[in-house]
C-alpha cells in the first residue's frame, strides 16, 4: 500500500507507533498534535486518509470531523476516529458526524493496518 496518511494525535507514543506501523507498509505519514490548527494542516497536506483523535488541545476531533464533512473538498475524506473514549454514545456520535471508522485505544498494530487498507480501498 502507499499513499498519504495524516495522523492528528497529541500523544507522542501513539503518534510514533502509528507512524512506524504505517511507514513500514509504505505509507507516507505526517503527524500533527494541535486541534486548533488541524483543519489548516489537513487542507495543506491533502491526505488520502485521516486518523483523528477525539481529545485534542485547541479543538476536539468531533468538531474537526463536523467541519470536514461540511466542506465539499473534505466531505469524502476517509476518517478513522481513534479514541480512548469507547462507550456506545461516543461511537454513535462519531457515526452521526460522518466517521468512516471508529477504533478504541489501545489498538493492535494489525487492527490499524487493516483499517487503513480497508478505508483506502473502499
Q: What secondary structure does DSSP assign to 50-74, as a single string?
A: EEEESS-SSS-HHHHHHHHHHSTTT
The predicted structure's pLDDT at residue 93: 95
Q: Contact at 8 Å (CB) between 104 and 86? A: yes
3-state secondary structure (DSSP) of residue 3: strand
d(CA 14, CA 26): 18
Round the average pLDDT of the chain to a whole number and report it.
95
Domain count, the chain: 1
Q: Which of 74, 61, 72 is nearest to 103 (CA)?
A: 61
Which tens digit of pLDDT belongs to each residue from 87-113?
899 999 999 999 999 999 999 999 999
Which tens digit of pLDDT belongs to each residue from 48-75?
999 999 999 999 999 999 999 999 999 9
Bridge partner residues of 50 (DSSP): 6, 79
The predicted structure's pLDDT at residue 121: 83
Instruction: Give percent of the chain with pLDDT exceeding 90.
Output: 92
Domain range enclosing 14 = 3-121
Q: CATH number, domain at 49?
A: 3.40.50.2300
The predicted structure's pLDDT at residue 85: 83
**Model confidence at 122: pLDDT above 80:** no
DSSP symbol at 102: E
Mean pLDDT of 13-23: 97
Amino acid at each position: 500500500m502507499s499513499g498519504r496518511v495524516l495522523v492528528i494525535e497529541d500523544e507522542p507514543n501513539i503518534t510514533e507507533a502509528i507512524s512506524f506501523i504505517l511507514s513500514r507498509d509504505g505509507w507516507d505519514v505526517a503527524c500533527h498534535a494541535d486541534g486548533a490548527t488541524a483543519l489548516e494542516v489537513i487542507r495543506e497536506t491533502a491526505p488520502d486518509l485521516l486518523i483523528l483523535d477525539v481529545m485534542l488541545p485547541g479543538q476536539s476531533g468531533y468538531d474537526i470531523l463536523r467541519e470536514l464533512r461540511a466542506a465539499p473538498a473534505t466531505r469524502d475524506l476517509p476518517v478513522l476516529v481513534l479514541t480512548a473514549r469507547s462507550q456506545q454514545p461516543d461511537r454513535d456520535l462519531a457515526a452521526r458526524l460522518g466517521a468512516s471508522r471508529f477504533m478504541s485505544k489501545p489498538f493492535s498494530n494489525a487492527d490499524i493496518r487493516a483499517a487503513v487498507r480497508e478505508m483506502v480501498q473502499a
